[in-house]
Amino acid sequence: MLVLGANGQLARNTVPVLLGHPQVALTLYLRRAARLGNPNSSRVTIVEGDVLDRAALDAAMQGQDVVYANLAGDMAAQARSIIAAMAAAGVRRLIFVSSMGIYGEVPGERYKSVLDPYRDSAALIEASDLDYTILRPGWFTRDNAVSYQLTQKGEPFRGHEVSLASLSDLIAKLALTPGLHVRSSLGVSKA
């Protein structure tokens, strides 16, 4: 499994959850590899690279079965690069973290241009032929409880926050359960 943006808060929380499954081997991909220690050298490879560097991304993509992307910045350009690299490597499964509010689905909230990069990247992924799951979480909390509810695209978002533990649990389930929520955009909030 390839983890893009491996030094992000959610990715750092999710890696130990994934490693709790003995069959999982991870490639952690991040811009500055020195910032991240290797939690298990027999099952984890750390690769320094930028998602926009197609040669580095193509190399990291080889032999992967699942890509989990947890990114910020030029999200549309990153989504284009990921889609192209996955196609070139024949990798189908993408778990992509976005944001609540990209479809105007949060009752009583109107998010302006701050969500444009997330909205644009989601549109590109939805137009691809990948087996994607887009996650639209609420604000992260450090609560250790795993308790979340899912809403589909087009349904009103419920709540405004979700624990990192809940998101990590969901990401692991998506990565390890073939076909689970494929071609879905899921709102994720505390149950």
CATH of domain 2-190: 3.40.50.720
pTM of the entire predicted model = 0.97
Buried b (16+ CB within 10 A) or exposed e, 110-141: eeeeebebbbbbbebbeebebbbbbbbbbebe
List pLDDT tens digits, range 26-42: 999 999 999 999 999 99
Label residue 114 by pLDDT band (50, 70, 90).
Answer: confident
Average pLDDT over residues 117-125: 96
Percent of the chain with pLDDT over 70: 99
- Helix, strand, or coil (residue 30): strand
User: Which pLDDT score is estimated for 150?
Assistant: 98
| Residue ranges covered by each domain of the chain | 2-190
Helices (H) and strands (E) in the chain, counts: 5, 10
**Rounded distance between C-alpha atoms, residue 81 and residue 61, angstroms:** 11
User: Which pLDDT score is estimated for 165?
Assistant: 98
Average pLDDT over residues 173-178: 97
Residue 45 has pLDDT above 80, yes or no: yes
User: Which pLDDT score is estimated for 110?
Assistant: 76
Contact status, residue 125 vs residue 186, Cβ threshold 8 Å: no
Q: With the CA atoms of 113, 114, 117 and 121 taken in that order, what torsion angle do they form, in degrees rounded to the nearest 10?
A: -100
Contact status, residue 54 vs residue 85, Cβ threshold 8 Å: yes
- Helix, strand, or coil (residue 173): helix
- Helix, strand, or coil (residue 4): strand
